[in-house]
Structure 1
């Protein structure tokens, strides 16, 4: 079994905890835990941090990282559609269900979106409720709003 490494970084929307092996990024999630003393991170986690910093600086719109998260075939189908949502755009849960050719799965799509372990990299924040209403986000709705505003250029991040 591969060793799991962790790297905590500070961002404009709070601390992110990046986890992964030397081969894959397995999770990126928001954390309110105090900074922990992790062992030296492998190059892949440092590259992930660099790409996230570039995203927050407005210099990166897509991520180029090997990722792996556990889930069913259905969940992977949904997550694969999330990465196809263009930077600065949103779709509804219903539109996402239509993209996987399963309109009746709208609730399962919402549940799967919420189980995404790769915040920002697999952009579940780009999925909104009907009529553009912001709905649940594991990092909190204020973070979802911030990320969407950032991608639309509606705020100044102070990082440029």
Structure 2
């Protein structure tokens, strides 16, 4: 039947309010596929349009989806300081190759409350000298917060760039105790 094929491509989404603003959470039946910062209506609608074109299915709002309910619970617990890692299934289909390899290493090898340099992360995946490519992988991360690209910093101690904005990166690092809480 046709409906089985549609179920396989089904994309569901919800928005969760956090200390860094609203986050869009989107999932397929394989797992959480996308987390988007600053998910105001306009940002959310653009992100859902991109997901529809990338995954071939129109995302459906489904806050009661079991996977999204659990992802939302874990995100809220993380921002409340009650959770250090995420254990929801992840769908890596929006990223491939070197970027996926780097992000998987980041997710499994850089724990809460710690940071890693771009070059160090390149070394860990067997690509010494690929610090700039690691930076590109961080910028392409479809699962920020859950796959903690905020934990990647510059070797000289600089905070580095961040898709959600440097202030958001500072807030996440402060939440994890890496930086002092911002004064404003």
TM-score between the two structures when normalised by the length of structure 2: 0.78
Within the candidate set 53, 58, 61, 2:84 is matched to: 61
From 31, 36, 40, give the equivalent of 1:29: 36
- Counting matched residue pairs gives 156
CA–CA separation in structure 1 for the residues paired with 2:146 and 2:31: 13
Q: Mind listing any 5+ residue stretches in structure 1 that lack a counterpart?
A: none
Residue number among 115, 128, 134 corresponding to 1:103 in the alignment: 128
1:10 aligns with 2:17: yes
Unaligned runs of 5+ in 2: 1-7, 46-59
Higher helix content, 1 or 2: 2
Q: Structure 1 residues 142 and 40, CA, compared in 2 at 3 Å: closer, same or farther? A: closer
Give the root-mean-square deviation of aligned CA atoms: 2.0
2:103 is the alignment partner of 1:75: no
Whether the 8 Å contact between 1:5 and 1:20 is mirrored in structure 2 is: yes
d(CA) in 1 for partners of 2:62, 2:89:
21
Q: Which runs of 4+ in 1 moved over 6 A?
A: none
Q: How big is the shift at 1:80?
A: 1.1
Q: Once the two structures are superposed, what CA deviation does each residue of 1:50-92 show, in whole Å capped at 9, x if it has no partner?
A: 0000101111111001101222221221011111101111111
User: 2:30 & 2:129 partners in 1: Cα distance?
Assistant: 36
Structure-2 residue corresponding to 1:85:
110
Q: Does 1:147 align with 2:154?
A: no
Secondary structure of the residue aligned to 1:111 is helix
Given that residues 23 and 44 in structure 1 are in contact (C-alpha distance below 8 angstroms), is that contact kept between their aligned partners in structure 2?
no
- Structure with bigger RCO (C-alpha 8 Å, 6+ apart): 1
1:40–1:122 Cα change, 3 Å: closer
